């Protein structure tokens, strides 16, 4: 599961640095990145959530549900 999150994270970082995707129409975005804006946003939010939980875990909070 962590590998999947890393892949999503790399995808999100790479494409967010390339261009401001918010100015694209949904179909333009789909052609450019291979996913729709809503899916992309969910992927980015998922990565942010996992990163926050991982930071908590590494700081010593071992009470996370999925670990």
Where do the structural domains in the chain lie, given as residue ranges?
A: 2-58
Residue predicted with more confidence, 57 or 14: 57
**pLDDT band per the 50, 70, 90 thresholds, residue 21:** low
Q: In this model, does residue 3 exceed pLDDT 80? A: no
Model's pTM, two decimal places?
0.48
Cα–Cα distances in angstroms (integers) from residue 38 to residues 2, 11, 12, 13, 61, in the given order:
22, 15, 13, 16, 31
**pLDDT band per the 50, 70, 90 thresholds, residue 10:** confident
Q: What is the pLDDT of residues 25-46, one digit of tens each?
A: 888 888 877 888 888 888 888 8
């Amino acid at each position: 599961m962590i590998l999947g999150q890393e892949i999503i994270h790399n995808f999100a970082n790479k494409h967010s640095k390339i261009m401001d995707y918010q100015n694209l129409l949904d179909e333009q975005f789909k052609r450019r990145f291979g996913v729709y804006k809503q899916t992309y946003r969910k992927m980015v939010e998922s990565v942010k959530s996992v990163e926050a939980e991982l930071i908590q875990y590494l700081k010593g909070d071992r009470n996370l549900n999925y670990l």
